[in-house]
């Protein structure tokens, strides 16, 4: 499981949400949230492949907390 998936799960739980209400909030399906959290989402795999290109890194993450000094959970590939 990627650190991005762990971050998504942690944030969802901290906000007292299950996958179904989160999916409704973002306008997607429960299964799409499940695939993201399990690392099985095809877009994530494609982006990871792109990170293997020379001189490239893929950085994906979430910020939370105050806007002036947010905490960042990042996942770096490549």
Any idea where the domains of the chain sit in the sequence?
A: 3-77
Per-residue pLDDT of 14-42, as tens digits, reads 889 999 999 999 999 999 899 888 877 76
**Does this model's pTM top 0.75?**
no
The pLDDT tens digits of the residues spanning 32-75 come to 899 888 877 767 677 778 788 778 888 888 888 899 999 888 87
pLDDT at 42: 67
Burial grade of 52 (CB within 10 A; 0-12, 13-18, 19 or more)? exposed
**CATH number belonging to the domain at 3-77, selected among 3.40.50.1820, 1.10.260.40, 2.60.40.10, 3.30.479.10:** 1.10.260.40
Mean pLDDT for the chain overall: 84
- Which residue matches tokens 């996942």? 75
Number of C-beta neighbours around residue 72 at 10 A: 11
Q: What is the model's pLDDT at position 57?
A: 84
């Amino acid at each position: 499981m990627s650190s991005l998936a762990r971050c998504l799960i942690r944030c969802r739980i901290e906000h007292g949400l299950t996958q179904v209400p989160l999916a409704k909030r973002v306008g997607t399906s429960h299964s799409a949230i499940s695939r993201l959290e399990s690392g099985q989402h095809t877009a994530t795999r494609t982006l990871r492949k792109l990170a293997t290109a020379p001189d490239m890194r893929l950085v994906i993450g979430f910020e939370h907390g105050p806007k002036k000094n947010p905490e960042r959970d990042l996942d770096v590939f490549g």
